[in-house]
Amino acid sequence: MRIKDILKPENIVAKLTATDKLELISKMLEIVKNSPNIINSNNILDAVLTREKIISTGVGHGFAFPHAKTDSVKDVTVAFATTEKDIDYNSLDGEPVRLVFLLLCTEEQVDIHIKLLSRVSRLMNEESFREKLKELNTSEEIYNLFASTEETLLVH
CB 87 within 8 A of CB 97: yes
Q: How far is the C-alpha of 90 from the C-alpha of 137, rounded, in Å?
A: 26
Has 67 been annotated as catalytic?
A: yes
The answer to whether the CB of 120 falls within 8 A of the CB of 3 is: yes
Integer Cα distance of 99 and 144 in angstroms? 16
Catalytic residue among 61, 67, 113, 156: 67
DSSP secondary structure letters along 94-139:
S--EEEEEEEEE-TT-HHHHHHHHHHHHHHHT-HHHHHHHHH--SH
Q: How open is the CA angle 153-57-149, to the nearest 5 degrees? A: 15
Catalytic residues: 67
